[in-house]
Amino acid sequence: MRKLTPFEEWVIVNKGTERPNTGKYNLHSEPGTYTCKRCGSPLFKSEHKFESSCGWPSFDDEIEGAIKRVPDADGQRVEILCSNCDGHLGHVFEGEYLTDKNLRHCVNSVSMDFEGDEVKNPKTAIFASGCFWGTQFYFLRWKGVISCDVGYIGGTVDNPTYKEVCTGTTGHAEAVKVVYDSDRVSFESLTKLFFETHDPSQVDRQGPDIGTQYRTEIFYMDEKQKEEAILLIAQLKAKGYEVVTKLTPAENLTFWKAEEYHQDYYEKTAGLPYCHIYKKKF
């Protein structure tokens, strides 16, 4: 069994419920398999998932034998559990006529992991836009994103710790490394999300977070990424936005993955970004 965070344990063991529209799989649409967070057993296929607008991931079918149904403690609903480990998933509803199968498994994102199908053309992008918790929050929820790790890049110390980076003496930026399916999402789309979820006019800070590690910077993988970033910056400036975002080649730079407790931070703590708010700019 996988070791759970306190919030994961509250939901999976103690039958809690995450807040609506906060889970990373609510609007998730990648091809693959959703598995139990605690034991790893397959639960749902991506073709079972549909948009119900309820605020939680919804599935109108399950992998055979994966789900156990039990009467809920409230005497009105039907709880669904992982049939292998009895981990709490959510509830199941019938009679809503949302799909032809007339069934909705309403599942907490935090109760699941996801294993994506093999991607033919994966590519990488690295962005820094302040506290990497908030940056990761948005990228993990973007269509076509396979994975998004938080870490450090652009400094002078090998394998830095969070404590070292926070001193501002290592030269690193808090950043995210995004691996994406280039057949489903473009670098342009990801870069627009980057600019629309932080304030690129702030130098060495983002909201209440101050320091060089919170700078706005794109570490481009090739000249095409650089050219696309330059074009988007020009478009923002033409709209009247101030942009101080640096463009730095990622070649010869190492992205150091941050400590595990920083990965998927808001999913683990049931929080929301405090200095990253989406604002349409393009």
Q: List the Cα angle 231/237/251 in 5-degree steps.
A: 40
The question of whether 82 is a catalytic residue gets the answer no
Tell whether the torsion through CA atoms of 258, 124, 119 and 56 is positive or negative: positive
The rounded distance, in Å, linking the Cα atoms of 14 and 22 is 19
The rounded distance, in Å, linking the Cα atoms of 89 and 56 is 11
The question of whether 85 is a catalytic residue gets the answer no
DSSP for residue 76: S
131, 148, 166, 275: the catalytic one is 131
Q: Assess contact for 48 and 61: CB atoms under 8 A.
A: yes
- Type of residue numbered 18: E
The rounded distance, in Å, linking the Cα atoms of 88 and 65 is 15
The rounded distance, in Å, linking the Cα atoms of 131 and 236 is 22
36, 39, 82, 106: the catalytic one is 106
Q: Assess contact for 236 and 243: CB atoms under 8 A.
A: yes
Q: Assess contact for 261 and 5: CB atoms under 8 A.
A: no
Which amino acids are annotated catalytic?
106, 131
